[in-house]
Structure 1
Amino acid sequence: MTNPASPHKPALLDRGSWGEARRIGAILRKETVGGVLLLVGAMAAIIFANSPWGDAYETLRNVRFGPEALHLNLSLATWAADGLLAIFFFVAGLELKREFVAGDLRNARRAAVPIAAALGGVIVPALLYLLITRGVEGAARGWAIPTATDIAFALAVLAVIGRFLPTALRTFLLTLAVVDDLVAIAIIALFYTEDLSPVPLLAALAPLAVFTVLVQRRVRSWWLLLPLAAATWALVHASGVHATVAGVLLGFAVPVLRSQKAGGPEAGPGLAEHFEHRFRPISAGVAVPAFAFLSAGVSLGGLDGLGSAFRDPVVLGVAVGLVVGKPIGIMTATWLMARFTHADLDEDLTWVDMLGLSILAGIGFTVSLLIGELAFGLGNDEHVKVAVLSGSVTAALLATVVLRLRNRVYRRIHEIETADVNQDGVPDVYQIGRSEAADR
């Protein structure tokens, strides 16, 4: 066993409290199921698109419906990208706010490492993409495609190869993905908004404000909140800002903690936990898999088609950004944080573990496909789909190799982290030191 980190030094990675570990474990279990469904949806789309019924798949994606007067006569694929993903981003907004109010990100010292890692994992892939595609007309619009991490896809891979991954690494991966989502939301809002219409955007503030007042007063009535949320979404969509941003704003409006009354009990879980419990299964089990099915289908065109795709600098830029840029950015940012803060890794963990996790973060799917559609237009992003799929699969395979090398160590850590000798429902390692728990 490696020597424990000095108690006088901050830990670069640690498992946190039992309450936080239990909450994160519950989230990861739900996202893992969602990740499996996402993979099923993506595989079904690819098989469908390359089958004799490929034309039927395109016809399905292009079916249009919705009220034209409200600018909502959209194709099924657009409804999935703008509508269903709004649910995904609503849950992301809830999780983001919770992390900053009551989770790891409320502590500046603990938040610094995943925030720096996430920013490194955004900046380096974008720079590599721009370097590879320099001089290619119009290619620069896709710079943000390789910057996103798909936590559901990554967890589906972990479910197969890393069931015993230590809590500290799982917590780091989830927190990094949360920050990554925040950066992706900002990128979509700032860089992929065209023909901004201020009037609908300002009008969206009215239903959003009423929604905020109601949830702050702990109103849960769906017949009040759902129409307000739909109106906010429709007005943001009409403004030219991508409609998924409305989901994030609605998530930010929901209180994380109960208000603490004078002389009353301490503040506890607020309405955000209730909404997350209700909407995360819808997001992970319906919204994201449906989006994957309607977005991932790409006609590969055999070996000639794939060869043509990989001669496209955009494809190389996206794939290299995901497979190479992500781990370089995350590892570099984390190493710099360790050097300048004099922090140590958690005991038993090494930089090989961080490398495996950084490679795993190169799995970009849901948001990468969405940004590809925004950058190049629906129907003009076929090569982007090839790049995202190939880059994500390559990252998954490389991460599998690295993390499997440490599986024996992870099993031993898992045994320590789950041991409960006194059977009080709380693992001993959260009540005493790891060394003492290991000696029991």
Structure 2
Amino acid sequence: MTPTPQSTAPPESPEERDRRSVADFLRLEVTGGLMLLVAATLALILANSPLSDTYTSVRNHHLDIPWLGLNLSIGHWASDGLLAVFFFIAGIELKRELVVGQLRKPAAAALPVVAAIGGMAVPALVYVTINGVQGGSMDGWAVPMATDIAFALGVLAVVGRRLPSALRTFLLTLAIVDDLIAIIIIAVFFASGLNLWALLGSIAGLALFGFLHHRGVRGWYIYVPLALIIWGLMYNSGVHATIAGVAIGMLLRTTTKPGEHEAPAEHIGHIVHPWSAGLCVPLFALFAAGVAVSGDTFADMIHEPEALGVTLGLVLGKIIGIFGATWIVATFTKAALHPTLKWLDILGAAMLAGIGFTVSLLIAELAFADTPHLEEHVKVAVLLGSLIAAAGAAILLTARGRAHERAGTSLD
């Protein structure tokens, strides 16, 4: 009998096992949604407690890096800096879908892509219509357009264990296309005072990053400083700095070469994802979601078309846009739902997409930077709309999970 070869890898220490366990926990979709929820809840508690002045003071405290031309408050460091890590992960996901995922197959991608477009166009139309009729500000038209991937997939992970896996694929593809369009909107409509030389410097840095990466040059000590320089130049160019994160993520190779166990995008995403889900995005939520809420707040919001437009855009606009676009394409073209999915499942996914949260809060900050009163109320509207969407989706998808379990189509 030939003896079984023994592994030559050294045994893990307890500290290494603990670190790996924590990282694996933070990679879970449900964990990302939970961390966001905890951070947002803590922000609301702090902003509405005797500690509110201290919370506001910390959020508005400035940290300067003169040699990079950066003079940002802690709140802006979170939205412009930490959130770039979240967008870096989004860039990796987008590249993966385009190269090896659903988006490389036009037939399979047709329904979720069209659904994403409808799910962004209709909420914007709802906002514009309400504010056009009532004379509100048009600046927030993009706020209800976004879907929060982490939060939506987190809710689906909790309530969708008995749902077909095709629903997660549909929602993930939809959310990635949603992110792509949101990224373009941020880059085009929320750039301020364009500095061409800084932008060209950032593009040159991206070109160097891509060249080194595809030449096989390795070493975090090369890429991390280069990424920081690219980010700093992007910020100083007037284009929102999170775009740098997306661009760098999309430069990473998603296919393996001979002798490689996994593609660089897979490997680096595996390392960075726990930091994004466990630290960067929750810290952004901690400083972005801290708004004062009272009975007067909701009384004022009822009469503010901006807040009403955002809430209805997220709750109704997403449902009408996603469900309606999917139904039209499936009815009048050769595109069809996955055999395991029913229209009530798509309705549940459309409700989930109404969870705007991270990107919606970011766009609210950009759109209403000059009107703090409206910014706070629109943020409350984002939180309220996201909560209603999450609750409605959880109820419907839980019921659908039971129906699929009875029908034997669960997790097909």
Same fold flag (TM > 0.5): yes
Question: Residues 180 and 413 of structure 1: is their aligned pair in 2 closer, same or farther, counting only changes over 3 Å?
Answer: farther
- Listed as ranges, the gaps of 5+ residues in structure 2 are 1-23
Give the partner amino acid of 1:383: H
Give the partner amino acid of 1:205: I
**Whole-Å separation in 2 of the counterparts to 1:180 and 1:44:** 28
Q: SS at the partner of 1:347?
A: coil
* C-alpha displacement of 1:115: 0.7
What are the residue-to-residue correspondences of 1:6-405 with 2, within 5 Å? 30-134=28-132, 139-259=137-257, 269-300=262-293, 302-377=294-369, 379-380=372-373, 381-405=375-399
**Whole-Å separation in 2 of the counterparts to 1:82 and 1:136:** 33
**Whole-Å separation in 2 of the counterparts to 1:347 and 1:208:** 42
Q: Is the 8 A contact 2:164 2:410 kept in 1?
A: no
Give the partner amino acid of 2:284: F
**Whole-Å separation in 2 of the counterparts to 1:268 and 1:106:** 22
* C-alpha displacement of 1:137: 6.4
Give the partner amino acid of 2:321: G
* C-alpha displacement of 1:268: 7.4
Give the partner amino acid of 2:393: A
* C-alpha displacement of 1:29: 5.9
* C-alpha displacement of 1:196: 0.6
Q: Is the 8 A contact 1:28 1:155 kept in 2?
A: no
Q: Is the 8 A contact 1:338 1:344 kept in 2?
A: yes
**Whole-Å separation in 2 of the counterparts to 1:28 and 1:111:** 29
Q: Is the 8 A contact 2:164 2:340 kept in 1?
A: no
**Whole-Å separation in 2 of the counterparts to 1:211 and 1:412:** 52
Give the partner amino acid of 1:404: T
* C-alpha displacement of 1:339: 1.4
> How many pairs were matched up?
387
TM-score by length of 1: 0.84
Q: Deviations over 1:117-172 (max 9, x none)?
A: 00000000000100001166671111000000112112332344333221000111
Q: Is the 8 A contact 2:164 2:409 kept in 1?
A: no
* C-alpha displacement of 1:349: 2.6
Q: SS at the partner of 2:151?
A: helix
TM-score by length of 2: 0.89
Q: Deviations over 1:146-204 (max 9, x none)?
A: 00011211233234433322100011111111111100000000111111110100111
**Whole-Å separation in 2 of the counterparts to 1:102 and 1:412:** 33
**Whole-Å separation in 1 of the counterparts to 2:235 and 2:407:** 48
**Whole-Å separation in 2 of the counterparts to 1:220 and 1:38:** 33
Aligned position for 1:436: none
**Whole-Å separation in 1 of the counterparts to 2:40 and 2:319:** 24
**Whole-Å separation in 1 of the counterparts to 2:360 and 2:203:** 28
Q: Is the 8 A contact 1:62 1:76 kept in 2?
A: yes
* C-alpha displacement of 1:306: 1.7
**Whole-Å separation in 1 of the counterparts to 2:385 and 2:219:** 43
**Whole-Å separation in 2 of the counterparts to 1:70 and 1:343:** 50
Q: SS at the partner of 1:66?
A: strand
Judge which range, 106-115 or 134-143, deviates more: 134-143
Q: SS at the partner of 2:197?
A: helix
**Whole-Å separation in 2 of the counterparts to 1:62 and 1:28:** 29
Question: Residues 29 and 162 of structure 1: is their aligned pair in 2 closer, same or farther, counting only changes over 3 Å?
Answer: farther
Q: SS at the partner of 1:406?
A: helix
Give the partner amino acid of 1:358: A
Aligned position for 2:404: 410
Q: Is the 8 A contact 1:215 1:271 kept in 2?
A: no
Q: Deviations over 1:222-246 (max 9, x none)?
A: 1100111000000010010000001
Q: Is the 8 A contact 2:26 2:277 kept in 1?
A: no
- Listed as ranges, the gaps of 5+ residues in structure 1 are 1-25, 418-428, 430-440
Give the partner amino acid of 1:53: L
Question: Residues 316 and 413 of structure 1: is their aligned pair in 2 closer, same or farther, counting only changes over 3 Å?
Answer: same
Question: Residues 237 and 398 of structure 1: is their aligned pair in 2 closer, same or farther, counting only changes over 3 Å?
Answer: same
**Whole-Å separation in 2 of the counterparts to 1:167 and 1:64:** 46
**Whole-Å separation in 1 of the counterparts to 2:96 and 2:210:** 16
Q: Deviations over 1:302-352 (max 9, x none)?
A: 212221123210000000000000010001111111112234433343211
